């Protein structure tokens, strides 16, 4: 009898919930050269190992996916959903990010099509409380689906979109992301060139996951 009660109590424990499912959309269009791709790839890999961020990824069982995107029909899941259940899991995911190869070269920029590709991916992680798309890029759409239409579609489904705008000169891409890409309540952080990207993606993830709403 006691053994049965112990088993019932054990299996009655609520499972720890995934608080956030996060898709990281990485621009690899023609304006991104090999060095700039490396800044994005290694900057993300380093950011995931930030002590504060890594602890929150595990505490909240965050699920991560990385997608590379470019033109209308050029989107690829390069790292499928992985739930961060331990610090070693975070380290392993960071290592896989750092080892990524570029999937597309010499193609256009289709932000709307990238969003359209990302939205259905959340079907595999429906138990996560928040669903978030991160878009990193250095240009406005010149191909594919209308960006603002896909942003509105995401908002209707309760999906948040935030962005890292890589502005080489001025603030044009940041303004484009604010106007057409992010959902209501979302935010854009500006990377002043690719060398600033590692700092920016770390700050963005901290704001998004550690101090949401700040």
pLDDT class of 16 with cuts at 50, 70, 90: low
116 touches 151 (CB < 8 A): no
Residue 176 lies in a domain: yes
Residue 202 has pLDDT above 90, yes or no: yes
Residue 10 lies in a domain: no
Q: Report percent pLDDT > 70 for the chain.
A: 91
Per-residue pLDDT tens digits for 138-153 = 999 999 999 999 999 9
Neighbour tally for 130: CB within 10 Å = 17
pTM of the model: 0.90
Cα–Cα distance, 156 to 153 (Å, whole number): 5
What is the structure's pLDDT at 17?
87
Residue 134 lies in a domain: yes
**Mean per-residue pLDDT, 2-10:** 44
Residue 9 lies in a domain: no
Residue 7 lies in a domain: no
Residue 173 lies in a domain: yes
**Mean per-residue pLDDT, 62-79:** 97
What is the structure's pLDDT at 144?
95
pLDDT class of 8 with cuts at 50, 70, 90: very low
Domain containing residue 195: 16-210
Residue 140 lies in a domain: yes
126 touches 21 (CB < 8 A): no
* Count of structural domains, the chain: 1
Average confidence score pLDDT of the chain: 91
**Mean per-residue pLDDT, 88-102:** 98
Cα–Cα distance, 51 to 69 (Å, whole number): 29
The answer to which of 82-86, 171-175, 201-205 has the lowest mean pLDDT is 171-175
At 83, which CATH number?
A: 3.40.50.410
**Mean per-residue pLDDT, 95-103:** 97
Helix (H, G, I), strand (E, B) or coil at 167: coil
Neighbour tally for 184: CB within 10 Å = 9
pLDDT class of 1 with cuts at 50, 70, 90: low
Residue 11 lies in a domain: no
């Amino acid at each position: 009898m006691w053994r049965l009660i112990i088993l019932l109590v054990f299996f009655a424990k609520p499972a720890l919930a995934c608080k956030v499912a996060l898709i990281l959309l990485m621009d690899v269009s023609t304006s991104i050269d090999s060095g700039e791709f490396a800044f994005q790839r290694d900057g993300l890999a380093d950011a995931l190992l930030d002590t504060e961020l890594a602890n929150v990824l595990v505490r909240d069982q965050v699920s991560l996916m990385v997608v590379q995107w470019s033109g209308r029909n050029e989107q690829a899941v390069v790292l499928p959903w992985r739930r961060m259940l331990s610090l070693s899991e975070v380290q392993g995911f960071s290592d896989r990010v750092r080892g990524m190869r570029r999937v597309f070269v010499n193609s256009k920029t289709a932000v709307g099509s990238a969003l359209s590709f990302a939205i259905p991916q959340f079907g595999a992680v429906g138990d996560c409380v928040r669903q978030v798309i991160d878009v990193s890029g250095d240009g406005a759409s010149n191909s594919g689906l209308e960006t603002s239409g896909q942003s509105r579609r995401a908002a209707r489904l309760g999906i948040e979109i935030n962005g890292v705008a890589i502005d080489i000169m001025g603030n044009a891409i940041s303004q484009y992301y604010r106007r057409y890409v992010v959902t209501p309540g979302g935010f854009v952080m500006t990377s002043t060139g690719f060398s600033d990207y590692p700092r920016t993606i770390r700050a963005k993830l901290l704001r998004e996951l550690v101090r949401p709403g700040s």
